[in-house]
Amino acid sequence: MSSAAATASRRAFLGLPSKTARAKGTPSPSIFADSFESPAPPGPAAAIIALNRMAYGPRPGDIAAFNALGGNDTARIAAYVEQQLDPGLDDSACEARIAAGGYTTLSKSMAQLWSDHVRDRDGLGLNDHPFRSYPCAESECVKLLRAVYSRRQLYEVTVDFWHNHFNVQGWDFNIAPLFMHYDRDVIRPHAFGNFRALLEEVAKAPAMLQYLDNKSSRGSAYNENFARELCELHTLGVENYYPGKDPNIIPDLPGETIAVGYCDNDVYEAARALTGWTQADDHWEFPDTAEYDSGEFMYYGNWHDVAGKYFLHHYILSYQPDMQDAQTVFDILCQHPATALHICGKLCRRFISDDPPQALIDSAAAIWRQHWQSPDQITRVLRHILNSAAFRETWGEKVKRPWEALAHAMRATETEIQPIPYPSVWEPYGNLYSLLQQSGNRPFRWPTPDGYPDVSEKWSGVSTLAQTWRLMSRLTELEEVPESGIYLCDVVAQTNAALPVGARSANVIVDFWIDRIFSQPIPASRRNQMVDFLRQNAPANEALVTTTNSWNQNNLKQHYTQSRLRSAVALLFMTPEFYRR
């Protein structure tokens, strides 16, 4: 759909008269443009679409399990969606892995995190030590474990979506000690639930209070940072911003007394409504008691601006009950059709394409508004989007981010990991995290409130792909302990276990790994390049020695087949086909 049509549809959804939209610009070409032999292949199997969009790629056996869910693609997707939306889906094996990791902060309350990792009340002198960052570091470790091993793949993908929508820079010095609480108690419990409930918990979260400065917002010295992102990023969207306008000239929603969009004055009024929403951080104005130094959210009435507010043409009377001003602002925002369109557009962009059909965004937004108070609002909207024809029929219009590519590669190769927070171990996880950070997509590192971009152009540039390929090239070489010969991603052992000795030719091995990684053929020229790389001087159908890096006695030339096999699998992770979703 063109930009003009999309804008007209959005305005129709809002009940506004149409107007001429600015013509859509031509997007910058992807680095993949010339390397793709053809456009994305039409209509791959539903299993491939579902497991690359609702999940971080298939593990061995996932394709067969998906295909057993129904008699046709529509039925299979519907059954898979219901399976993935079920909060009772057994994930005990993944949770057992996490429990075996020896992580120390997973169950610490906010008060314990504050006491141990900020105040250091045990006198261990840890404020200048990476121990302060352990809550964020362990959140990262557990995120990787869940991406690779969890059966609740759609839940993990959706949690990642909300972390980006409500982004905080987890590794910030002041936020890292609190981050486990943000992930565990704020984002995860509400990922499939109700947006209004999620929004208020985000506003109360100590990590967000620190990140966007609302903890210091009080009275006439209010801080507008959180209020501005609340309107611009979290709800209405910048597309509904009227910069510098008098709020009284912004039109109402048809038939209502609520403004169609927001201006700077609305940001200031929202900031005033949020004064007093702060953190018990032993501020000098607080009483000198333990409850005012717990690190937890608190409402401090002495800092609240009790005067009336005028937000989106709605009058909030003065001297409302505690916290009611901000809660009224949240209610207005969460019922607003612009919020529905903004967030449903982002969800469609995440799960379908960079330019999803506006008709689907509109229908998802209608469900969003209808159920804005339902405890399963987000679940209902996800069900609608993921069962749509657009989801089933669209392929290859998204590019995997480096984080998604890493998770898919680990799942496809059945990588065995038990990540340990830096700096407890230098290899292999320090190396892995360092390479992921250089790709620009390490979890919880994005510095600005907008979160990691979700458009292909960002992740298909030369520099980003070069760093991602460095990560992929190292993945199959990472050892549990340097020079131990015990590989996290042991593609040699898996090859030997799957293929009989006499069948381990370059042709067979390459086809085995193409099926494992892609679940469908790749272009013949790319496949043949992999065969040539693996076979070297041997015939393509001759069995290779994959049990040792041995001499080839036929031509007296060293054939380090195991090393080449690891490199060949890594090369498959660098093909354009691997990044399509």
Tokens of 391: 């989801």
**What are the pLDDT digits (tens) for 191-215?**
999 999 999 999 999 999 999 999 9
Residue 460 lies in a domain: no
Residue 573 lies in a domain: yes
When divided into structural domains, the chain yields a total of: 3
Q: What value does the mean pLDDT of the chain take?
A: 89
CA distances (Å), 139 to each of 5, 96, 240, 272, 372, in order?
42, 16, 35, 33, 30
Tell me, what's the pLDDT at 18? 46
Mean pLDDT of 520-542: 93
Q: In this structure, are 233 and 349 located in the same domain?
A: no
Cis peptide leading into 58, omega within 30 of 0?
no
Q: In this structure, are 159 and 131 located in the same domain?
A: yes
pLDDT of 167 higher than 50: yes
Q: In this structure, are 178 and 118 located in the same domain?
A: yes
Mean pLDDT of 392-414: 95
pLDDT of 123 higher than 70: no
**What are the pLDDT digits (tens) for 328-379?**
999 999 999 999 999 999 999 999 999 999 999 999 999 999 999 999 999 9
Residue 410 lies in a domain: no
The domain in which residue 159 lies consists of 105-338
Q: In this structure, are 545 and 569 located in the same domain?
A: yes
Among 16-30, 392-406, 424-438, 510-524, the minimum mean pLDDT is found in 16-30
Strand partners, 314: 311
Q: In this structure, are 49 and 139 located in the same domain?
A: no
Q: Which of 500, 493, 489 is nearest to 573 (CA)?
A: 489
Q: In this structure, are 363 and 237 located in the same domain?
A: no
Mean pLDDT of 5-34: 43
Q: In this structure, are 503 and 514 located in the same domain?
A: yes
pLDDT higher at 162 or 482: 162
Mean pLDDT of 218-247: 96
Strand partners, 543: 505
Tell me, what's the pLDDT at 548? 76
pLDDT of 11 higher than 70: no
Q: In this structure, are 299 and 277 located in the same domain?
A: yes
pLDDT of 169 higher than 90: yes
Q: In this structure, are 367 and 322 located in the same domain?
A: no
Q: In this structure, are 374 and 361 located in the same domain?
A: yes
Tell me, what's the pLDDT at 31? 40
Last residue of a domain, one of 323, 338, 353: 338
Q: In this structure, are 522 and 546 located in the same domain?
A: yes
d(CA 521, CA 530): 13
Q: In this structure, are 235 and 160 located in the same domain?
A: yes
Place of tokens 């409130």: 449
d(CA 363, CA 344): 9
Last residue of a domain, one of 377, 393, 409: 393
Last residue of a domain, one of 372, 393, 414: 393
